[in-house]
C-alpha cells in the first residue's frame, strides 16, 4: 500500500488524528467549564466499555449510526450529498412500526421480515425522490432532502394525530401503538438491549462494501460520483445510477429506523431522533467507506453509550458529546483541506496521478467540491 | 370565517415571519457571495441562546441582543474560515456548526442555570405600539436595506460578482475572499438577530432546539424567493403566515384547510420550486465554487 494523500491508510490515520484533536478541544471546553476532563473521559469509557451491559449499549447506539452512515456513504459515492438520512430513517421506522403493530395473525418468521421490508421500501422511496428529481430536473439534492426531512416529520405527526381511524397510532403517546411481539427483533444477549438489528447493521455494511467495490453497479456508482461527464462518456446512465443509489441509501436509512422501532423502542415516536444528522458525521469520519463507517459508527456509539455514566460520575453534561461529534466533523474537514495543500500532497509518491481514488477524500461531487474533474477513464 | 382574519392574526403572522425574514436576509447575503449556508439553523440557535445568556449576565436586553448577534457572528466566522480559507466542503462545515450549536447550547444551559431543557426568564426587548416587538420593525427595515446594499452599492455588486463568477471577479481585482468573509459574517449576525427575536423578543427565555428548523425554512425562503431580497422576504412572510394560520386554525373549529397541510406548505412549495416546474430556479452561478480552482 503506497502512502499517498487520499489513500486508505492516510485517510484512516487522518480520521484518528481528527478524533484525537476533537477530544482535545472537548477537554479544553470541559476545563473551561470547571470540570475534570480526565475524569470525564475515564467515566465515559468505563460506562461504554467497562461492563457487559455497557458494551451491549455501545453496539445498540452504533447500529443505526452504522446503517445511516452507510446510507450517507452510498449516496456520497454517487456524488450526492444526502442530508435526508434523518427523514429516510424516520419514515422507515414509522413504516416498520405500523406493519409491526398491525395484527394479521402472522408468525414471526413472516411478520419480522415484512416489517423490515416495509421500512426499506418507505426509506427507499424517500431517497429515490431526491435522486430522481436531481436526474430529471437538476434540483439540488441538499435542498430537496432537507425539505423531504421536514415533510417526513409532518406526515408522521399528521398520521399520528389524525389518522388513528385506520392506522395503529396512539396520539396520547405521540407515536404508534406498540409493535406486536411477533414483529419484535429478538434480543440476542440476555439482560441487555442488544437486538438483532445490530446484526442487520453489520451485515448491511459488509454487503454494501461488496456491492460498491466488487460489482458492476458499484463501479458505475463510483464512476458517476467521480465525474458525471466521464460516466456519460463511458456509457453509464448517470440519472438512473444516481436515482438507484439514492433509493439504496434511503433503504439503508430505513433499515436503521426499523432497528429502532422493531428492536430498541418497540414503537415509533413522533419526535425526530436526530440520528440521521449524527450519521452524516459517521459517514464523513468513515470516509464514505463502509468498513470505515463501521469503525466510526462504533466510535460514535461508544460516545453516546458512555455519555450518561459520564454525566452521573464526572458531573459533565452529556450534551458535550454532541459538541464532540461536531468537532470531529470540523477536524476531518480540516484534515481534508490539508490533504489538498501542495506540500502535503508532495509527501506522497510523485508518480501517482492526482486523479486517483478521489472519492475516498470525501466522496463529494466535483460540483460541490469544485475540484477539477479527473481525466476521462 | 370573517372573524378569522383579524388584526390579531396579522400580528401573529408578523411574529412568525420575523425570525424567518431576518435569517433569510442573512442566508441571501451568504448565498449571493457564493457560500452555501446550511449553518443558518445553528447560527440562529447560537444567537437565541447568547441573547438570553447576555441579558442574564448584563441585565440589559439590548446588550444581550448584541451579545447574541456577536456570538452568532463568531459561529459564522468559523463557517467562513472553514469554507473560504481552508476551502473545505461548505455543507460539511454547515452540518458541523449545526451539531456544535445544538450541543453547546444544551451544555451551557446545564452549566449556567444548572438544569436541562430551558433557561430562566430574563428581561425582554421592548414592544413598540403596544404589542409589536422592536425586532419586527428591524426586520421590516432590513429588507429594503439589503436590497439597496446588493443592487445599489459598489460593495454589494462586488459581493454578487463574487457569487456569480469568483474567477472572473478575481481577475478584475475584486477581493473575493474579503467579500465572502463579510457576507458570511453578516449572515451570522442577521441569523443571530432572528434567533434573539425568538428568545428575548417573542419570549423571555431559551429552550432546547427552540429554532426548530427555522434556519432551514429561511434557506428555503431564499430559494423559493429566487435569491432576491424582496422575493425571499415575501416567501418568508408566506411561510410565516402558514405557521401562524396553523396555530390559529387549531383553535378555530371548522377551519376548512387541514392545519398539518399548512405547516407542510413551505417544504412542499420549495421542493416544487427547486425542480423548476413553477419557474426556472436560478441560484448564483458560482455557488460553492472557490476563487482560484487548482
B173 falls within a domain: yes
Instruction: Calculate mean pLDDT across residues A304-322.
Output: 87
pLDDT in tens, A117-137: 999 999 999 999 999 999 998
Instruction: Calculate mean pLDDT across residues A318-324.
Output: 86
Q: Report the C-alpha gap between A276 and A123 in whole angstroms.
A: 12
B274 falls within a domain: no
Q: Report the C-alpha gap between A273 and A282 in whole angstroms.
A: 15
Residue B87's pLDDT band (boundaries 50, 70, 90)? confident
String of b and e for B209-240 (b: at least 16 CB within 10 Å)? ebbebbbbbbbbbbbbbbbbbebbbbbbbbbb
B67 falls within a domain: yes
Q: Which of A64-68, B114-118, B252-256 has the highest mean pLDDT?
A: A64-68
CATH number for the domain including B143? 1.10.3470.10
B51 falls within a domain: yes
- B97, B99, B274 member nearest A139 (Cβ): B274
Residue A249 grid cell: 441509501
Q: Which residues of B touch A136 (CB under 8 A)?
A: 275
Residues paired with residue A169 on neighbouring β-strands, in sequence order: A176
Per-residue pLDDT, A343: 64
pLDDT in tens, A8-23: 787 788 888 888 998 9
Residue A101 grid cell: 403493530
pLDDT value at A353 more than 60: no
pLDDT in tens, B272-293: 888 876 555 567 878 877 765 4
Q: Report the C-alpha gap between B132 and B15 in whole angstroms.
A: 8
State how many domains chain B has. Answer: 1
* CA neighbor of A145 nearest in space, from A51, A247, A63: A247
Q: Which residue has the higher pLDDT, B61 or A33?
A: B61
B138 falls within a domain: yes
- B36, B89, B283 member nearest A364 (Cβ): B89
Spatial contact of A194 and A56, defined as CB atoms under 8 Å apart: yes
Spatial contact of A340 and B87, defined as CB atoms under 8 Å apart: yes
> Are residues A144 and B274, on separate chains, in Cβ contact within 8 Å?
yes
* Angle formed at CA A22 by CA A18 and CA A26, multiple of 5 degrees: 170
> Are residues B87 and A340, on separate chains, in Cβ contact within 8 Å?
yes
pLDDT in tens, B178-226: 999 999 999 999 999 999 999 999 889 999 889 988 998 899 899 888 8
Residue A359's pLDDT band (boundaries 50, 70, 90)? very low
Residues paired with residue B127 on neighbouring β-strands, in sequence order: B133
Residue A251 grid cell: 433503504
* Angle formed at CA A343 by CA A340 and CA A349, multiple of 5 degrees: 85
B78 falls within a domain: yes
Give the other-Cβ count within 10 Å of A65's Cβ.
Answer: 29
Q: Which residue has the higher pLDDT, A237 or A345?
A: A237
B251 falls within a domain: no
Cβ within 8 Å of residue A276, ≥6 positions away: A68, A84, A85, A86, A87, A88, A89, A90, A149, A253
pLDDT value at B142 more than 50: yes
Q: Report the C-alpha gap between B40 and B94 in whole angstroms.
A: 8
> Are residues A150 and B216, on separate chains, in Cβ contact within 8 Å?
yes
Q: Which domain holds residue B196?
A: 18-211
> Which residue of A37, A280, A326, A338 to mutate against B (max B Cβ within 10 Å)?
A326
**How many residues in chain B?**
294
Instruction: Calculate mean pLDDT across residues B105-112.
Output: 90
Quote the minimal CA–CA distance from A130 to chain B in Å.
9
Specify the residue for cell string 401503538.
A177
Instruction: Calculate mean pLDDT across residues A293-298.
Output: 94
- Least CA distance to A142: which residue of chain B? B91
Residues paired with residue A170 on neighbouring β-strands, in sequence order: A175
Residue A255's pLDDT band (boundaries 50, 70, 90)? very high
Residue B49 grid cell: 441562546
* CA neighbor of A279 nearest in space, from A43, A92, A5: A92
Hey, is the C-beta of A337 within 8 angstroms of any chain B C-beta? yes
Per-residue pLDDT, A312: 87
Q: Report the C-alpha gap between A179 and A183 in whole angstroms.
A: 6
pLDDT value at A371 more than 90: no
> Which residue of B221, B274, B280 to mutate against A (max A Cβ within 10 Å)?
B274
Task: Specify the DSSP element, H or E, that contains A268.
Answer: none
Q: Report the C-alpha gap between A282 and A299 in whole angstroms.
A: 9
B83 falls within a domain: yes
Instruction: Calculate mean pLDDT across residues A298-322.
Output: 88
% of chain A residues with pLDDT over 70: 88
pLDDT value at B242 more than 60: yes
Burial class (CB in 10 A: 0-12, 13-18, 19+), A103: exposed
- Least CA distance to A283: which residue of chain B? B92
Residue A367's pLDDT band (boundaries 50, 70, 90)? very low
What chain A holds in terms of domains, given with CATH numbers, is: 37-322 (1.10.3470)
Residue A209 grid cell: 462494501
Quote the minimal CA–CA distance from A198 to chain B in Å.
25
Spatial contact of A319 and B110, defined as CB atoms under 8 Å apart: yes
Burial class (CB in 10 A: 0-12, 13-18, 19+), A350: exposed
DSSP 8-class letter at B47: H
Residue A238 grid cell: 448517470
Give the predicted TM-score (pTM) of the model: 0.85
Cβ within 8 Å of residue A240, ≥6 positions away: A135
Spatial contact of A268 and A102, defined as CB atoms under 8 Å apart: no
Q: Report the C-alpha gap between A121 and A252 in whole angstroms.
A: 10
Cβ within 8 Å of residue A242, ≥6 positions away: A78, A79, A80, A131, A134, A135, A224
* CA neighbor of A323 nearest in space, from B53, B106, B208: B106
pLDDT value at A165 more than 60: yes
Amino acid at each position: 500500500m503506497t502512502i499517498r494523500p487520499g489513500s486508505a491508510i492516510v485517510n484512516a490515520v487522518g480520521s484518528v488524528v481528527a478524533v484525537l484533536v476533537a477530544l482535545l478541544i472537548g477537554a479544553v471546553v470541559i476545563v473551561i467549564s470547571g470540570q475534570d476532563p480526565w475524569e470525564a473521559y475515564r467515566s465515559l469509557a468505563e460506562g461504554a466499555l467497562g461492563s457487559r451491559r455497557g458494551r451491549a449499549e455501545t453496539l445498540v447506539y452504533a447500529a443505526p449510526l452504522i446503517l445511516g452512515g452507510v446510507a450517507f456513504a452510498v449516496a456520497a459515492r454517487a456524488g450526492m450529498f444526502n442530508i435526508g438520512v434523518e427523514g429516510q430513517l424516520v419514515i422507515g421506522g414509522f413504516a416498520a412500526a405500523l406493519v409491526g403493530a398491525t395484527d394479521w395473525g402472522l408468525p414471526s418468521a413472516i411478520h419480522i421480515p415484512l416489517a423490515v421490508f416495509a421500512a426499506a421500501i418507505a426509506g427507499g422511496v424517500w431517497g429515490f425522490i431526491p435522486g430522481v428529481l436531481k436526474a430529471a430536473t437538476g434540483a439540488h439534492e441538499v435542498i430537496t432532502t432537507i425539505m423531504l426531512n421536514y415533510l417526513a416529520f409532518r406526515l408522521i405527526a399528521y398520521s399520528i394525530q389524525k389518522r388513528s381511524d385506520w392506522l395503529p397510532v396512539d396520539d396520547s403517546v405521540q407515536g404508534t401503538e406498540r409493535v406486536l411481539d411477533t414483529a419484535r427483533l429478538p434480543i440476542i444477549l440476555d439482560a441487555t438491549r442488544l437486538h438483532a438489528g445490530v446484526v442487520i447493521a453489520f451485515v448491511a455494511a459488509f454487503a454494501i462494501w461488496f456491492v460498491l467495490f466488487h460489482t458492476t453497479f458499484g463501479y458505475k456508482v463510483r464512476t458517476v460520483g467521480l465525474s458525471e461527464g466521464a460516466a456519460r462518456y463511458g456509457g453509464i446512465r448517470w440519472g438512473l445510477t444516481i436515482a438507484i443509489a439514492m433509493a439504496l441509501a434511503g433503504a439503508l436509512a430505513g433499515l436503521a429506523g426499523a432497528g429502532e422501532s422493531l428492536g430498541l423502542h418497540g414503537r415509533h415516536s413522533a419526535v425526530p431522533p436526530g440520528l440521521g444528522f449524527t450519521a452524516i458525521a459517521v459517514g464523513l469520519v468513515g470516509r464514505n467507506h463502509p468498513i470505515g463507517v463501521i469503525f466510526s459508527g462504533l466510535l460514535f456509539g461508544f460516545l453516546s453509550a458512555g455519555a450518561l455514566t459520564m454525566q452521573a460520575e464526572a458531573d459533565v453534561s452529556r450534551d458535550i458529546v454532541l459538541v464532540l461529534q461536531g468537532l470531529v466533523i470540523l477536524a476531518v474537514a480540516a484534515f481534508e483541506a490539508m490533504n489538498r495543500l501542495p506540500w502535503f500532497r508532495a509527501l506522497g509518491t510523485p508518480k501517482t496521478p492526482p486523479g486517483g481514488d478521489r472519492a475516498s477524500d470525501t466522496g463529494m461531487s466535483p460540483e460541490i467540491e469544485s475540484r477539477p474533474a479527473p481525466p476521462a477513464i | 370565517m370573517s372573524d378569522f382574519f383579524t388584526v390579531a392574526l396579522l400580528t401573529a403572522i408578523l411574529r412568525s415571519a420575523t425570525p424567518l425574514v431576518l435569517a433569510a436576509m442573512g442566508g441571501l447575503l451568504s448565498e449571493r457571495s457564493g457560500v452555501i449556508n446550511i449553518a443558518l439553523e445553528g447560527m440562529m440557535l447560537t444567537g437565541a441562546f447568547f441573547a438570553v445568556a447576555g441579558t442574564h449576565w448584563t441585565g440589559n436586553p439590548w446588550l444581550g441582543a448584541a451579545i447574541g448577534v456577536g456570538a452568532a457572528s463568531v459561529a459564522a466566522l468559523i463557517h467562513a474560515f472553514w469554507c473560504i480559507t481552508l476551502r473545505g466542503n461548505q455543507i460539511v462545515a454547515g452540518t458541523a456548526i449545526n451539531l456544535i450549536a445544538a450541543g453547546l447550547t444544551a451544555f451551557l444551559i446545564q452549566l449556567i442555570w444548572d438544569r436541562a431543557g430551558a433557561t430562566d426568564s430574563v428581561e425582554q426587548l421592548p414592544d413598540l405600539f403596544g404589542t409589536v416587538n422592536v425586532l419586527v420593525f428591524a426586520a421590516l427595515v432590513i429588507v429594503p436595506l439589503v436590497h439597496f446594499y446588493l443592487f445599489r452599492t459598489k460593495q454589494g455588486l462586488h459581493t454578487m460578482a463574487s457569487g456569480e463568477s469568483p474567477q472572473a471577479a478575481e481577475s478584475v481585482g475584486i477581493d473575493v475572499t474579503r467579500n465572502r468573509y463579510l457576507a458570511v459574517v453578516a449572515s451570522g449576525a442577521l441569523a443571530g438577530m432572528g434567533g434573539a427575536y425568538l428568545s428575548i423578543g417573542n419570549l423571555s427565555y431559551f429552550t432546547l432546539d427552540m429554532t426548530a428548523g427555522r434556519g432551514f425554512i429561511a434557506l428555503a425562503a431564499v430559494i423559493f424567493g429566487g435569491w432576491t431580497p424582496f422575493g425571499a422576504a415575501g416567501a418568508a412572510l408566506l411561510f410565516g403566515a402558514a405557521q401562524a394560520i396553523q396555530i390559529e386554525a387549531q383553535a378555530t373549529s371548522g377551519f376548512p384547510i387541514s392545519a398539518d397541510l399548512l405547516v407542510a406548505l413551505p417544504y412542499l412549495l420549495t421542493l416544487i420550486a427547486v425542480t423548476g416546474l413553477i419557474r426556472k430556479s436560478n441560484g448564483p452561478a458560482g455557488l460553492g465554487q472557490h476563487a482560484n480552482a487548482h
